[in-house]
Amino acid sequence: MIMKYSFFILYLVFIFNSCDQTQQDYNVFTIETDITSNAELTLSKYFDNFRMIKLSNDSIMGEIEIIRFENNRIYISDGKSIFIFSDSGELLSCFNKRGGGPGEYAGITDFVVDGENITVLSRSIKRLLTYTNSGECISTQTLDYWAQAISPTVENVYFLYCGNEFDDKQKHKLRRINNEKEDSQYLPVDKKYLNFSWKSNFFKYQKSLYFFELFNDIVYEYVNGGSIEPLYYINYKGKNIPDAFFERNFNDVREFRMEYDKTSYAHGIFKFSLNDRFIMFGSSYLKKSKLTILDRKDQISNTFATVKDDVYFNRSTPVSFYYFVDKHIFVPLEAFEVVEWKKVHPPAEPFKEIVDSTKEEDNPLLLIFDFKK
């Protein structure tokens, strides 16, 4: 699948939770969201520190699936290998440990960087494997449950997201791993909801960790030392999916999706980020992706349907795809797309030299920028 340039792609995913009941049960901050808005976001209004990085071609990767940024290094997975780059795009290391033997994974479902080590989740064989940056396996943990996402590490703690699959050994959606040992479980599974696969469920900012799901309009915060607490409620002003819709006991994902597409409901939350001033998250309404930004200074939110790139290529695109990594925002660009764009949308300086030197067979380029303060 071609990775499209801009700022959000909607995947068919995952847990269905009753948002109205959650809002009633907890005192959370409500973010009012005008999901019907078709406004355009101008990049330079909310972001700065714009960069473009050309990734080394020393080892050619497939389509980017996961990006992490730790220790001033860029960690990328294409589902088969781990690539480690410097913050200027130089390849520092890469490894592929696919297989069924000791120290090997069937595929990279998700991964987390902890200091100089990388922990890989391989869902299909229920394994957590920890490697050095050079690919040496230093530990393997076999799970007795299905996990589908792994959180960033906060003070030697990370979480595994298990979705809404229920059996005798899996009764909670989140499991906390503390110093490499599971010690707590959070958010009970509700057996009446369907389960979907999704690997973007966590965001880390400084020492805080946030958890979110599609079809659940609550963002949770991990309170260090103990609990997962609801923090934000996304109010789509009459467009939130009502409890009664989830209670219809759909047979499968396809049936749910077909019935949902007949409605005018909105849903979130995919891709969530914040800093000291802004909160940003993605939603879907009438099969279109929307991006909402709340300015915490004046408590005003704005929702956007398109993005005006007035920095790199001077073009407008629908809200589509990006990665939030700590305080940075990463947008991967396939090299062959960049070669085509420059014919119609000449790049701005100082990015022209990088774009002009790009060939169709090269590794992707990365756009990186930050929230304004």
Instruction: For residue 365, tell me if it sits in a domain.
Output: yes
Instruction: Specify the pLDDT at position 26.
Output: 55
Q: Is residue 8 over pLDDT 60?
A: no
User: Got the DSSP string for 273-316?
Assistant: EE-SSEEEEEEEETTEEEEEEEETTTTEEEEEEEEEE-SSS-EE
Cβ contact 335:365 at 8 Å:
yes
**Sequence-ordered strand ranges (E) for 179-299:** 181-188, 202-205, 208-213, 216-223, 227-235, 266-274, 278-285, 288-295
Structure token digits, residue 308: 């005006």
- What global pTM score does this model have? 0.88
The domain tally of the chain equals 1
- Residue 13's pLDDT band, with cuts at 50, 70 and 90, is very low
Q: Which domain holds residue 279?
A: 19-64+194-371
Tell me the backbone φ, ψ of residue 249, rounded to 5 degrees.
55, 65
Instruction: For residue 229, tell me if it sits in a domain.
Output: yes
d(CA 43, CA 178): 39
16-44: burial string, b at 16+ Cβ within 10 Å, e else: bbbbeebbeeeebeebebebbeeeebebe
Closest to 306 measured CA to CA, from 8, 7, 45, 40: 40
Q: Is residue 22 over pLDDT 70?
A: no
Tell me the backbone φ, ψ of residue 204, rounded to 5 degrees.
-115, 130
Min mean pLDDT across 56-65, 79-88, 224-233, 301-310 is at 224-233
Structure token digits, residue 230: 């609801």
Instruction: Specify the pLDDT at position 4.
Output: 40
Residue type, 292: T
Instruction: Specify the pLDDT at position 198.
Output: 63
- Residue 225's pLDDT band, with cuts at 50, 70 and 90, is low
d(CA 172, CA 186): 6
Quick: pLDDT tens for 252-308.
Answer: 878 988 999 999 999 988 889 999 999 999 999 999 999 999 999 999 999 999 999
Instruction: Specify the pLDDT at position 247.
Output: 85
Instruction: For residue 253, tell me if it sits in a domain.
Output: yes
Give the residue, 335 or 250, on which the prediction is more confident. 335
Instruction: For residue 284, tell me if it sits in a domain.
Output: yes
Instruction: For residue 36, tell me if it sits in a domain.
Output: yes
d(CA 81, CA 93): 11
Instruction: For residue 170, tell me if it sits in a domain.
Output: no
Instruction: Specify the pLDDT at position 199.
Output: 64
Instruction: Specify the pLDDT at position 24.
Output: 46
Instruction: For residue 99, tell me if it sits in a domain.
Output: no
Quick: pLDDT tens for 77-106.
Answer: 999 999 999 999 999 999 999 998 999 999
Instruction: For residue 111, tell me if it sits in a domain.
Output: no
**Sequence-ordered strand ranges (E) for 89-180:** 91-95, 110-114, 117-122, 127-132, 137-142, 149-150, 157-161, 172-178
Mean pLDDT of the chain: 87
Structure token digits, residue 207: 């020492």
